[in-house]
């Protein structure tokens, strides 16, 4: 299997914040990260049924279009009592409708949808959940590899904290003491125990031996 070396790596995203975060993680290994957006590459339809399938769709499309190795991620929240939902539709649950006059993402609405579905099951509902992250690397010759990360925890209500994003204000990680949500703890600590950190540690160990 091909391994990453120092050089250019396409990050299959049009999100500047995600590019900055991934670049910082890979910079110590000599990787020059370039976003698919800066190369003018289109975003492929995410038609997969799993996080891994969608991550691979994005990585393969970027690798084929650029002729370079490409890295993509797909992540989301799964709730046990909701049979793993929202799962790959984590961001979709936050999408506003055009007829509302303000298209975009409303994460409070998404958190409320999850809470509403849990409330329908009664006060004793299982509130365990987990954030998942899959990182996929694809090469132009068709080779690929995936790394899966997970951060288990539980959901609380109402939302608490101002430092997170997405579903962070209702997610309490089980890997630390206390009942602070991801949006209440220091961002540096959150990043060290997150699902993305778990996936990246596996990528680094495999690709760079550290």
Q: Is 74 annotated as catalytic?
A: yes
Cβ contact 11:71 at 8 Å: yes
DSSP 57-68: HHHHHHHHHHSS
Q: What is the DSSP letter of 18?
A: H
Cα dist from 202 to 133, 145, 162, 164, whole Å: 12, 11, 30, 24
Residue for token pair 């799993």: 50
| Residue among 74, 126, 179, 186 flagged as catalytic | 74
Nearest alpha carbon to residue 152 among 118, 127, 129, 119: 129
Nearest alpha carbon to residue 68 among 145, 168, 144, 139: 139
Give the residue numbers marked as catalytic.
Answer: 74
């Amino acid at each position: 299997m091909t391994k990453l070396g120092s050089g250019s790596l396409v990050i299959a995203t049009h999100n500047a914040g995600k590019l900055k975060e991934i670049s910082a993680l890979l910079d110590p290994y000599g990787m020059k990260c370039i976003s698919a957006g800066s190369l003018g590459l289109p975003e492929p339809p995410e038609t997969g049924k799993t996080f891994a399938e969608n991550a691979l769709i994005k990585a393969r499309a970027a690798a084929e279009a650029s002729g370079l190795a490409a890295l993509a991620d797909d992540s989301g929240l799964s709730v046990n009592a909701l049979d793993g939902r929202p799962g790959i539709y984590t961001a979709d649950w936050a999408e506003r409708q055009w007829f509302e006059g303000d298209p975009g993402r409303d994460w409070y609405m998404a958190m409320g949808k999850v809470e509403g579905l849990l409330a329908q099951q009664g006060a004793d509902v299982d509130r365990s959940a987990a954030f998942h992250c899959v990182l996929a690397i694809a090469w132009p010759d068709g080779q690929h590899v995936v790394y899966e990360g997970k951060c288990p925890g539980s959901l609380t209500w109402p939302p608490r904290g101002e430092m997170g994003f997405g579903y962070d204000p209702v997610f309490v990680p089980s890997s630390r003491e206390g009942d602070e949500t991801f949006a209440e703890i220091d961002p540096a600590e959150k990043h060290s125990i997150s699902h993305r950190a778990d996936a990246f540690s596996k990528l680094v160990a495999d690709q760079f031996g550290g």
